[in-house]
């Protein structure tokens, strides 16, 4: 498809999107525009199904509903940037370019009329000719002002698009990180692992907090969350910047130690285990210390392993061996 064809299609979708927003009294914000554009262009079936269901029910489409669709189907994907924002910015850029040319032509016309007006002022002309020149002058200046106002509005729209891009980038980043600890979550781990080669030597630590249920039952989930946060910080303090620290589940952590053989990984695992065992956590309300916290750690290396899940399973098996060996210890697969 040529640029002209793409521009025509994009313009048509833009017009239909704006018509939809207007007819349903939906504010034309970048978020709402993105959602409806994807609906109009049939780029996201689940999103369109949700909107069509609302329309069939005759229910008012609210701002909260649009925000929810944006979060669920748009913000965590790159679809909006590739499918909506890129062509929309092309349309916007071309429109601004055309307006700039029009304003330039209007400036030239105004200059020529000024010259004509000066010539007429020196000659004996009819009042009707003066009126015609005055009318053309006023018309051009009015049109120029309208075009400049439209250009300003489109420039503001471009700024809103840039803000939306920042929001999308932030949303995708947040989706890769565990909100409690700041460590990677499973999705974040999967994305980072794509940059690592199985041909290199990597090791994995599977870490589980011993008797964590007892901590929650005795002191409550708020204290339990504080324990998890402190352990996450201890793990991070003992690994390198290139290593991946992941909160894998409730009280489960995984560390991928890049370019690290098994023996070195075990030494670091021991430092993590000892560091956690030395933590002294105080409950502020009662001013009492919690019982010592310990972890069990399983360690594995990616020898002849072509799948990350296999490495994690081996580390997990070693973790259960550590649990069965009395906990608060490190076991290699």
Judge whether 176 lies within some domain.
no
Q: Is the model more confident about 227 or about 92?
A: 227
pLDDT of 283 over the 70 cut: yes
Domain boundary among the residues 116, 132, 167 is at 167
pTM: 0.56
- Work out the pLDDT band at 219, boundaries 50, 70, 90: confident
Judge whether 179 lies within some domain.
no
26 and 132 together in one domain: yes
Nearest-angstrom CA–CA distance, 331 and 206: 10
Domain boundary among the residues 134, 167, 200 is at 167
192 and 150 together in one domain: no
Q: Is the model more confident about 179 or about 330?
A: 330
Mean pLDDT to the nearest integer, 150-154: 64
List Cα–Cα distances, 309 to 28, 190, 300, 332, in angstroms.
Answer: 45, 10, 12, 17
6 noted as active-site residue = no
115 and 219 together in one domain: no
Catalytic residue from among 251, 252, 307, 313? 251
Nearest-angstrom CA–CA distance, 198 and 310: 12
- List the domain range (segments joined by +) for residue 218: 186-332
Map tokens 């909260």 to a residue: 64
Domain count across the chain:
2
Judge whether 175 lies within some domain.
no
Q: Is the model more confident about 213 or about 138?
A: 213
Going by C-alpha positions, the residue among 297, 307, 304, 301 that lies closest to residue 331 is 297
221 and 158 together in one domain: no
Judge whether 292 lies within some domain.
yes
Domain boundary among the residues 98, 132, 167 is at 167
Judge whether 174 lies within some domain.
no
Judge whether 180 lies within some domain.
no
**Helix (H) or strand (E) segment spanning residue 234:** helix 221-237
Nearest-angstrom CA–CA distance, 266 and 125: 100
Most confident of the ranges 43-57, 61-75, 228-242:
228-242
Map tokens 């030239």 to a residue: 108
Contact indicator for 206, 318 with CB cutoff of 8 Å: yes
154 and 201 together in one domain: no
């Amino acid at each position: 498809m040529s640029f002209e064809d793409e521009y025509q299609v994009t313009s048509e979708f833009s017009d239909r999107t704006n018509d939809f927003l207007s007819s349903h009294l939906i504010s034309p914000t970048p978020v709402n525009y993105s959602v409806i554009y994807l609906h109009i262009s049939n780029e996201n079936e689940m999103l369109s199904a949700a909107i069509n269901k609302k329309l069939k029910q005759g229910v008012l489409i609210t701002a909260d509903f649009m925000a929810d669709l944006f979060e669920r189907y748009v913000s965590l994907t790159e679809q909006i940037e590739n499918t909506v924002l890129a062509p929309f910015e092309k349309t916007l850029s071309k429109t601004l370019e055309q307006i700039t040319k029009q304003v330039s032509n209007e400036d030239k016309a105004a200059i020529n009329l000024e010259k004509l007006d000066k010539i007429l002022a020196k000659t004996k002309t009819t009042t009707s000719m003066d009126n015609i020149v005055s009318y053309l002058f006023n018309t051009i200046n009015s049109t120029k002002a309208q075009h400049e106002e439209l250009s300003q509005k489109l420039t503001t729209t471009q700024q809103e698009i840039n803000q939306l891009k920042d929001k999308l980038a932030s949303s995708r980043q947040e989706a890769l990180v565990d909100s409690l600890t700041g460590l990677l979550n499973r999705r974040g781990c999967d994305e980072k692992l794509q940059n690592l080669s199985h041909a290199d030597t990597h090791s994995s630590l599977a870490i589980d907090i011993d008797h964590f249920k007892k901590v929650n039952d005795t002191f409550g989930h708020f204290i339990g969350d504080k324990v998890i946060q402190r352990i996450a910080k201890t793990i991070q303090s003992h690994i390198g910047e290139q290593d991946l620290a992941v909160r894998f589940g409730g009280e489960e952590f995984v560390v991928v130690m890049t370019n690290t053989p098994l023996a070195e990984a075990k030494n670091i695992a021991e430092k993590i285990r000892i560091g956690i065992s030395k933590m002294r956590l105080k409950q502020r309300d009662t001013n009492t210390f919690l019982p010592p916290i310990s972890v069990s750690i399983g360690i594995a290396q990616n020898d002849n392993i072509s799948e990350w899940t296999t490495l994690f399973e081996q580390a997990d098996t070693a973790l259960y061996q550590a649990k069965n060996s009395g906990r608060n210890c490190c076991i290699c697969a």
